[in-house]
Amino acid sequence: MRRRGFLAAAGAAAVAQTPEKVIGSAAEALEVFDFVPVARKNVQSQHWAYLMGGSDDNSTVNANENGWSKWRIRARRHVDVSAVDLSVELFGQKLAHPVLAAPVAAHQAFHAEGEAATAKGAWSRKSQMILSTNASLNVRDVAKAYGGRLWFQLYSFSDFEVNRALLRNAEEAGCTAVTVTVDSVGGSPRIMQTRGGVKTEQRCRACHGTTQADYYKEHGNFDGIDMARNVGGPGRAVTWSVLDRIRAATKMKVLIKGVMTPEDAAECYRHGADGIVVSNHGGRAENSHYGTVDALPGIVEVVNGRMPVLIDGGIRRGVDVYKALALGATAVCVGRPYVWGLAAFGAEGVDKVFSMLQSDLRGIMQSCGATAIRHISPLSIERK
């Protein structure tokens, strides 16, 4: 049995622990890990290290993945499960299933078509896509490739006019919700990523500039935005007053992404957030050793159904989705798995990743006697 958590921790060594047969098409994949050898071969080493690495020794990346195995499922029988409904409702919108595409930066580091390919693959499985502020492509171009209405992810900038411009562009592109990331405020020692390569090295400078202005040129959402007055990068000083200003600056639904404590969840509600995302930035924000699934029950309890609670972090199988829903999550977000699919086979790989997760979720629901998402409850699960 494959040990969970090895992928982020071992990086290139992960290839040796995946199946010996390297798949030749997306259709051959049996699980999301099958894309890893192909993706690893296709992606430059520094970009792979960026994707796979977390903070410090990757302990929090592993805590996210391993946390799901701490829970076991209580299966019910004697139920007609010939028809299973995976749909959920978020902000008045009916989604075909509860598995969303989490925001991940710079998709052109993994495939030439970048977020356009991701959008095509995600929409083919009706997966709600959340576009990163730091996407390679502009939100307008990604919206054209996507069949529905995108969500947008926002890093807050010291010059609030940058925030206004990003929000305005997202709204004009048809985005209906924005997830404001609040967990990237101090930087973290991303050792694996740094060892993979930094932009000042000659091999990186062949494609990348070394200044902050160069960075903005490489990410399409900053096209036409005056970044001259912004001090430092994004994600700094995301205080409650800043969140209040963001809330007032947009008509989109506002979710706070990076919540890991019941105290912050309660404050999010008090400040008018429409929802939250339990997240530690895929184990990249800080080396807390605190997996998102461990934080979820306390947050769900304090929210008490007053707003949607989403979660990301280490979700690799449909059974993980099932456990998240049983613990009270409204929906889940996945990041690294669909990027593996993107890097391996473009839009077809993304499509296959979401197809497998949906199929896995449907299968575990049938096995456990749940014919609709609303039938998955705390009684469906117990701590080991």
For the annotated catalytic residues, the residue numbers are 281
313 torsion bin: left (phi>0), alpha (psi -120 to 50), beta (else): left
- The vertex-329 CA angle with 328 and 331, nearest 5°, equals 150
Burial class for 376, CB neighbours closer than 10 Å (0-12, 13-18, 19+):
buried
Distance CA 53, CA 60 (A): 10
Q: Hey, is 171 helix, strand or coil?
A: helix
Half-sphere exposure of 31 (CA within 13 A, CB side): 10
E strands present in the chain: 71-73, 88-90, 93-95, 99-101, 130-131, 151-155, 177-181, 253-259, 275-278, 309-312, 331-334, 381-383
Element (H, E) at 82: none
Tell me the C-alpha distance between 346 and 364, whole Å: 28
